[in-house]
Amino acid sequence: MTTVLTYGTFDMLHIGHINILKRAKSLGDYLIVGISTDEFNTLKSKKSYYSYPDRKRIVEAIRYVDKVIPESTWEQKLEDIKKYNVDYFVMGSDWEGKFDYLNSYCEVIYLSRTEGISTSKIKDDFSQ
């Protein structure tokens, strides 16, 4: 079985999220999604509209996702790769190069983002 791992906040779900999850799943048999907890978001100076439990339930309902785990620290990625025997670590291209150090443990792949859509853009559009 080929295991794929990705992370994100997954607040205000949109087509960009679906696209990256679908593409990540196409790389293997089992897709694990780490979702930033509310506490971790606070450490990152980020605020989500939906709480972690709600974001977890939303992402679990997506057919491409096999397992959802909480992301509590930056450092846990390596622990998760080892724990779940991950073959591919996938992130959006906006993170290009930031996780190359994990290439010693699995293949790191940066997928291009969907043009013209992001949670930040949605939040900005509604605040105007």
Could you list the active site residues? Answer: 44, 46
Closest CA to 14 of 126, 114, 128, 124: 114
Taking every pair of Cα atoms in the chain, the longest distance, rounded to a whole number of angstroms, is 47
